[in-house]
Amino acid sequence: MKGYKTPIHAAATWVRRQPPKIKIFLAVITALAALVFLRMVVEDHDSLFVVAEAAHAIGISVLIYKLTKERTCAGLSLKSQELTAIFLAVRLYCSFVMEYDIHTLLDSATLVTTLWVIYMMRFKLRASYMDDKDNFAIYYVVLDTRGRLLTALGYGLWPSMVLLSEIVQTFILADFCYYYVKSLIGGQLVLRLPSGVV
């Protein structure tokens, strides 16, 4: 029975033996098939948002576990964690004002875990933080507008702005995932983005 392989093990072995470009192609095809499957199966899109927010909170919790176990934050961007915390704080405020439902609870959990990651990176794991690699200028993203942009948009355009921001966020995450998978396939532990990619 030692030579017997399960079909899943055989498929995983076959994928591991493929060249990097084939692996990336298979990952893209699998992701697209998963999206099509979700589109056909999911009827209540609100539950999909709840699952996505829960996955985000669980992902940050796994990151905390990794930081606690390995005692290093090498390769993590403190600035991106701070931007995520700012985004979650604003979203949590809007959730308190407008909705106050399960999204509020999940956003609270994600914000608390993100703040814990920031605390770990700033104080507990400061020695392993790569400050020279985290050189993204934060003022490119967070600008002082004093409300001019918000009033210029008007009252009725917020649904389209939400949709546009979700599309932009999806493309940013997809771009990051591409480079992350590419670095994993190449065997690199620290993700290095090309100079033109933020």
Length, in residues, of the chain: 198
Question: Does the reported pTM lie above 0.75?
Answer: no
The pLDDT value given to residue 148 = 57
Reported as a pLDDT band with limits 50, 70 and 90, residue 12 is confident
The DSSP code sequence of 52-88 is HHHHHHHHHHHHHHHHHHH---TT--HHHHHHHHHHH
The pLDDT value given to residue 143 = 64
Contact (CB, 8 A) for 106 and 53:
yes
Residue 158, CB-side half-sphere exposure with 13 Å CA sphere:
6
The percent of residues in the chain predicted with pLDDT above 70, rounded, is 78
Which numeric CATH code is attached to 46-143? 1.20.1280
- Rounded CA separation 50/103 (Å): 7
The pLDDT value given to residue 38 = 77
The pLDDT value given to residue 198 = 46
The pLDDT value given to residue 167 = 73
The pLDDT value given to residue 156 = 64
- Mean pLDDT, to the nearest integer, of 2-14? 78
Q: What is the pLDDT of residues 179-192, one digit of tens each?
A: 777 777 777 766 66
Indicate whether 45 pLDDT > 60: yes
The pLDDT value given to residue 152 = 54
Q: What is the pLDDT of residues 94-152, one digit of tens each?
A: 888 877 778 788 889 889 999 999 999 999 999 998 888 888 777 766 666 665 555 55
Residues 6+ apart with CB under 8 A from 109: 57
Smallest Cα–Cα separation from 78: which of 123, 110, 108? Answer: 123
- Mean pLDDT, to the nearest integer, of 68-93? 87
The pLDDT value given to residue 121 = 93
